[in-house]
Amino acid sequence: MGYSRLAGILLICLAAVFAIIYTWLVFGAGEAVSIIVIKLTVYFSMLALFGVIGYIGYVLATTPSLPPEEIERMIKELEKEEEMEKQK
C-alpha cells in the first residue's frame, strides 16, 4: 500500500472520529458545553474567513500594477500570435 493511500485512509478515519466527537460535544455533552463548542466553532470560522479576506487585500495592495504601455504591448503581441495561428 502506497504512502498516499495510507495517508488518505488515515485522514478519512480522523475526519469520521472528529465528526463523531464534535456531534457528541454539540448534542450530547450538556447545554453549557455545546454553547461553548458552537461559539468556538463560529469564532474560529470567522477568524479564518477574515484571515483569507485580509490576505486577499494584502495581495491586492502589494502587487505592482503594469503601466498602460506594457498592457498595450502585451495586447499587440497576443493579436500577432492569433494572426499567426489563423494563417497556419
| pTM, rounded to two decimals | 0.60
Mean pLDDT of all residues in 39-64: 95
Q: Residue 26: CB partners within 8 Å, gap ≥ 6?
A: 34, 37, 38
CA distance 30 to 26: 8
Contacts 24+ apart (CB under 8 A), 42-49: none
Instruction: Write out the three cell numbers for 31.
Output: 447545554
* Model confidence pLDDT, tens digit, residues 10-51: 999 999 999 999 999 999 889 999 999 999 999 999 999 999
CA atoms within 13 A on the CB side of 18: 6
